[in-house]
A and B are shown apart, each in its own frame.
Chain A
Amino acid sequence: MDADKPAASEPGTAPTPSHQKVWDIPTRLFHWSLVICIGLSWWSVENKRMDIHYWSGLVALGLLVFRIYWGFAGPETVRFARFIKGPREVVRYLRRLFRTGYRASFGHNPLGALSVIALLLAVAIQVGLGLFASDTSYVSSGPLSHLVDYEASEDITDLHEDFFNVLMFVIGLHLAAIVFYLAVKRINLVWPMVTGSRSAENAEGPPAGIAPISLLRLCIGIVLAAGAVWLIAR
């Protein structure tokens, strides 16, 4: 799509990379795995497969643990300290959004950062409630439901059902934002989450994008996530 790009660069200057790497493989795998887990969790409840629901929820918990860890140990675009900005930055971003010369953010934009936090928090609350919830047939109750009494577990089960609507609302906002960027700003946010890269044109951040990830750090994250799931499910 940009084969003519290198030809356009001035002779003597280093050619600008046409693609900017924004999302590492673990982050993309996390994202799409979580999408599958949420979908499977919904499907399994609708089809009375609480055995599947039990595990899709636990896998979602493992994914969350990994993502939180990755927010400290992963590449710069996924680090909480880098992408979470204060309200002033959010307002500044909103002003910039409709001005000419707008350039896409490197990774999450200051407003999108709030959406990331809301999504992670909503999934964490939903999974947290599920840990203590009861299955009506007492076959696949939440793995920590034995820590609370019958009444409490029933109440938590109701909250778990109700909170699904909150989760859907937050996911709805996320999807609406994607549609907005695609329709109004002509920026496809989904494709970079699949391939890891976006067009380097009109983008902030280093043209080449993120540096390769550390395999050691990745392994620590996987052990942490699997360990958390094992601790709860055993």
Chain B
Amino acid sequence: MKTILFAAAAATALALAACGGGEPAKPAEPTPAADATPAAPEPVAAAPTGPAAMPEPTDVAAFMKARHENYEMLGANMKVLQDNFRAETPDMAAATAAAANVKLFADAMGAWFPAGTGPDSGIESEAKANIWTDRATFDAAAVKLQEESAKLAAATDAAAFKAQFPATGGTCKNCHDTFREEKKDQ
């Protein structure tokens, strides 16, 4: 019986070690000054913001890069929402702020796809050509995100937030499935 218990413990430890294998090395923290209090609170990661202003599409490469970075920021907001969705007691201040940001992205992104900023630009992009050939469907998908994120931003309590989050994430997926091409190293 002892051997089994040992084996069980070893298996658990190994499994946990395997899980831990996914964690990246922490960036080196600055050496604290000698007089610094050892229990100084860790700096809180800056909360993600709304969309940055897009440049004129005359410089296609700069425009597409800014668009990509805006989608990265949208992703950062979505991560805050998903993390709170999964938390037992969501941080509603963070969640509503992120939801309001997502609404801002949804309102703005319709203007982020002028002609010439797709695959025909020759610049690597995850935007598929059907954004421009099937514009009505694409715009409808963006409107759907506006609607769902507005509902999410309006949620004031945890229950309403948790009830509305899957629908909001679903609109992201709905559009990605049709109009986004997975590319490596983006």
Could you list which residues of chain A lie within 8 angstroms of chain B, going by C-beta atoms? 48, 50, 61, 64-65, 68-69, 71-73, 124-125, 127-134, 136-139, 141, 144-150, 152-156, 158, 161, 217, 220-221, 224, 228, 232
Contacts and interface: CB of A to CB of B under 8 A. Distances in A.
Contacts of A50: 173
Nearest to B1: A216
Sorted nearest first, the 9 A-B pairs with minimum C-beta distance are A72-B7, A69-B11, A137-B173, A138-B78, A124-B18, A128-B22, A146-B83, A137-B172, A128-B21
Contacts of A137: 78, 169-170, 172-173, 176
B135 interface: no
Given A72-B11, A224-B8, A155 B173 contact: no
Given A68-B14, A141-B79, A148 B23 contact: yes
A166 B182 CA distance: 20
A128 B18 contact: yes
B15 A68 contact: yes
A48 B45 contact: no
Contact of B21 (A125, A148, A224): A125
Given A68-B15, A124-B18, A150 B172 contact: no
Contacts of B52: none
Given A139-B166, A224-B12, A73 B4 contact: yes
B177 interface: yes
B15 A61 contact: yes
A72 B6 contact: yes
Contacts of A133: 22
A12 B173 CA distance: 73
A153 B21 contact: no
A223 to B, nearest CB: 9
Residue from the set A71, A137, A156, A217 with the largest chain B CB neighbour count within 10 Å: A137
Contacts of B3: 72-73
Given A129-B22, A156-B22, 6 more contacts: A72-B10, A73-B4, A132-B22, A137-B78, A138-B78, A224-B11
Interface of B: 3-4, 6-8, 10-12, 14-15, 18-24, 45, 48, 72, 75-76, 78-79, 81-83, 86-87, 166, 169-170, 172-173, 176-177, 180, 182, 184-185
9 contacts: A48-B176, A65-B11, A69-B11, A73-B7, A125-B18, A134-B75, A137-B176, A154-B75, A217-B4
A117 B20 CA distance: 18
A50 B172 CA distance: 13
A138 B81 contact: yes
Contacts of B22: 125, 128-133, 144, 156
Contacts of A69: 7-8, 10-11
A156 B24 contact: yes
Nearest to A66: B11
Contacts of A232: 19
Contacts of A124: 18, 21
A127 B16 CA distance: 12
Contacts of B172: 136-139
Given A130-B22, A220-B8, A228 B15 contact: yes
Contacts of B83: 145-146
Given A156-B22, A156-B24, A150 B11 contact: no
Contact of A161 (B8, B176, B184): B184
Given A138-B172, A153-B79, A128 B19 contact: yes
A145 B21 CA distance: 13
Given A68-B14, A72-B11, A139-B170, A131 B6 contact: no
B4 A127 contact: no
Contacts of A61: 15, 18-19
A188 B82 CA distance: 48
